[in-house]
Amino acid sequence: MTDRLPGAGHTGKLHDTPEDAFRHIQALYDAEVGRLLDAWRAFARGEAAGEATVVAHYPLVRLVVTKVAAVDPLASFGFLAEPGRYATTLTRPGLFKSYLLEQFALLRRHHDVPLEVGLSSTAIPVQFAQPEDGHMEAEMPRDRRAAFRERFVAPSAGAAIDDGIVDGRRRTRDDGSLPLALFAAPRIDLSIHRLRHYTGTSAAWFQKFVIFTNYDFYMEEFRRIALEEICAPASQAGADTDQARERRTGYQAFVEPGNRVTRNPGFAGPVAGLADGHNGAVPATESGPVRMPQMPAYHLVRPDGLGLTMVNIGVGPSNAKTITDHIAVLRPHAWIMAGHCGGLSLTQQLGDYVLAHAYLRDDKVLDRFLPLAVPVPALAEVQQALVTAAADVTGLKGDALRRVVRTGTVVTTDDRNWEQDDPDDLVRRFNASRAIAIDMESATIAANGYRLGVPYGTLLCVSDKPMHGTPKLPGMASDFYAERKEQHTRIAMRAMELLRDEFGPAVFSRKLMRFLPVAFR
């Protein structure tokens, strides 16, 4: 029986258990990548100059469903909506092990058909086979660099690397099968390598709950709190609640840009993530990077991957789209925006919080993928977690909490100098939308979460009120930041822990189910 699955007329090996299917996928991937890297190294040394193009292929999983059984109406993923032949290419199985086993188990439970595993006809670009921290072209002699494209497949734009499935432009894969997942293997590989470039950390460190922010001091506060969580000795934990102590023991390490790892002394053995690196361990360093990356990421790591990641995306919707496009391939359970905004309501005070329940999308970067006519709904699970976290951290309840946490529409603009627009036009737009806050990232993060199937939410903090005579000025801003940065950071972290403890992957809401769903979450 062959292991190649390029089309309907070919078969692979059938597996009845998710574990057997995964082991086969891992073996195929390791063999293909190993063969490709061996050929690359030989080529770099000047050997095998006369050989034809070297091609390795991604593994593929496929299943055929002839009839669809009844599915639990509460299920939001893990099932197939209609009979057909379904498939997806796979990459980096070590990184996605728990995710793939979960998806395979759900498919077996819902449809009771075997999983077919083999090699696809999709070639692995040689750059995607190399370790994340390497640059193999730089390691070869100059006279070999120009010739390598004649011998190896390089990444290129096309059906395997675009978001045609995500955006509903393509219902079938190139081989005619229906897609099992939103992203094909080359698209995932591209994002994994881009994440290392943009955030300064390996994709293996990213946790399932992601917090985005737009200021360095939030990152500094997250770092301080995270190091307290994993490094405070037991003698200093006496004032903590039992719940806080339990949360601390759940975190295994803290990872900073440059893959700098600070371990929790209470954990023995390897840190989760070190074993999931491509072609071996992710390199851990004692010092940070030579220079900070464009969008630095910090990771508070748990052995099960259900820890917290915080990313400083900087300012603007372009950055927000870029980073969410790439993190989405890691299939996080949820992401939220925790940053600053301009308050638009007369009754708001500096330091008040804004919980977005709607978005006015003036960011423009997603308009061609997700038309403005498409609503981006608030997700009840995330909203409730943010409110509960705000109450837990502030100690406020009832009317006292409602005075400082306001729910309403958030405007996201692509114009940092929006205040210089026609004031009458601004007033009409804000009034019609019932907007109470304006920023440059939140609606982009929410809309891309909706588009890419990642639960989302927004909790902002009012730092200025430019429509009411309180613009952001240096002296005032410094006092404000000092007062609110710890509280806001703790609220964001607590909200994600609540989502993890109550829902886990089930936070994926039925509101995110597609008219033409894919099985993989």
Q: Cα separation of 65 and 178, whole Å?
A: 11
| Number of C-beta neighbours around residue 206 at 10 A | 26
pLDDT band at 432 (very low <50, low <70, confident <90, very high): confident
- Does residue 175 have a pLDDT over 70? yes
Residue type, 416: R
Which pLDDT score, from 0 to 100, does residue 254 have?
A: 95
Q: Cα separation of 123 and 59, whole Å?
A: 10
- Does residue 361 have a pLDDT over 60? yes
pLDDT band at 474 (very low <50, low <70, confident <90, very high): low
Which pLDDT score, from 0 to 100, does residue 4 have?
A: 52
| Number of C-beta neighbours around residue 48 at 10 A | 12
Say which residue, 312 or 279, is predicted with more confidence: 312
Which pLDDT score, from 0 to 100, does residue 477 have?
A: 57
Angle between helices 317-327 and 442-452 (to 10 degrees): 30
Q: Cα separation of 281 and 253, whole Å?
A: 15
Q: What is the mean pLDDT of residues 472-479?
A: 58
Angle between helices 474-502 and 216-231 (to 10 degrees): 50
Q: Cα separation of 381 and 377, whole Å?
A: 12
Angle between helices 97-111 and 18-44 (to 10 degrees): 140
Core vs surface per residue 167-176: b (16+ CB within 10 A) or e: eeeeeebebe
The predicted-structure confidence for 17-47, as pLDDT tens digits, reads as follows 999 999 999 999 999 999 999 988 888 777 7
Residue type, 362: D
C-alpha distances out from residue 11 to 8, 67, 116, 120, Å: 8, 20, 8, 11
| Beta strands 308-312 and 340-343, pairing class | unpaired
User: In this structure, are residues 72 and 53 in contact, taking their beta carbons and an 8 Å threshold?
Assistant: no
Which pLDDT score, from 0 to 100, does residue 101 have?
A: 97
Angle between helices 474-502 and 380-394 (to 10 degrees): 120
Q: Where are the alpha helices (DSSP H) in 45-134?
A: 97-111, 126-129
- Does residue 168 have a pLDDT over 80? yes
The residues, any chain, with a CB within 8 Å of residue 334's CB and separated by 6 or more, are 208, 209, 210, 382, 454, 455, 456, 457, 496, 499, 507
Choice among 129-143, 339-353, 467-481 with the minimum mean pLDDT? 467-481
User: In this structure, are residues 195 and 189 in contact, taking their beta carbons and an 8 Å threshold?
Assistant: no
Which pLDDT score, from 0 to 100, does residue 345 have?
A: 87
Q: Where are the alpha helices (DSSP H) in 45-141?
A: 97-111, 126-129
Choice among 136-145, 150-159, 342-351, 415-424 with the minimum mean pLDDT? 136-145
Specify the 3-state DSSP secondary structure of 500: helix
Question: What structural domains does the chain harbor?
Answer: 13-196 (3.30.1730.10), 201-312 (3.40.50.1580), 337-505 (3.40.50.1580)
Which pLDDT score, from 0 to 100, does residue 273 have?
A: 65
Q: What is the mean pLDDT of residues 282-298?
A: 72
Q: What is the mean pLDDT of residues 266-289?
A: 59
Choice among 271-275, 388-392, 401-405, 485-489 with the minimum mean pLDDT? 271-275
Most confident range, picked from 60-64, 270-274, 289-293: 60-64
Which pLDDT score, from 0 to 100, does residue 516 have?
A: 79
Q: Cα separation of 209 and 335, whole Å?
A: 6
Q: Return mean pLDDT, the chain.
A: 85
The predicted-structure confidence for 117-165, as pLDDT tens digits, reads as follows 999 999 999 888 887 666 666 666 676 777 777 788 877 766 578 888 8
User: In this structure, are residues 40 and 51 in contact, taking their beta carbons and an 8 Å threshold?
Assistant: no
Q: Cα separation of 451 and 470, whole Å?
A: 36
User: In this structure, are residues 423 and 396 in contact, taking their beta carbons and an 8 Å threshold?
Assistant: no
- Does residue 5 have a pLDDT over 70? no
Q: Cα separation of 83 and 384, whole Å?
A: 37
Which pLDDT score, from 0 to 100, does residue 157 have?
A: 63
- Does residue 319 have a pLDDT over 80? yes
Which pLDDT score, from 0 to 100, does residue 509 have?
A: 74
Q: Cα separation of 292 and 145, whole Å?
A: 29
pLDDT band at 430 (very low <50, low <70, confident <90, very high): confident
Q: What is the mean pLDDT of residues 280-284?
A: 48
The residues, any chain, with a CB within 8 Å of residue 274's CB and separated by 6 or more, are 204, 261, 281, 282, 284
The predicted-structure confidence for 82-109, as pLDDT tens digits, reads as follows 899 999 999 999 999 999 999 999 999 9
User: In this structure, are residues 29 and 59 in contact, taking their beta carbons and an 8 Å threshold?
Assistant: yes
Q: Could you tell me which residues are beta bridge partners of residue 358?
A: 409
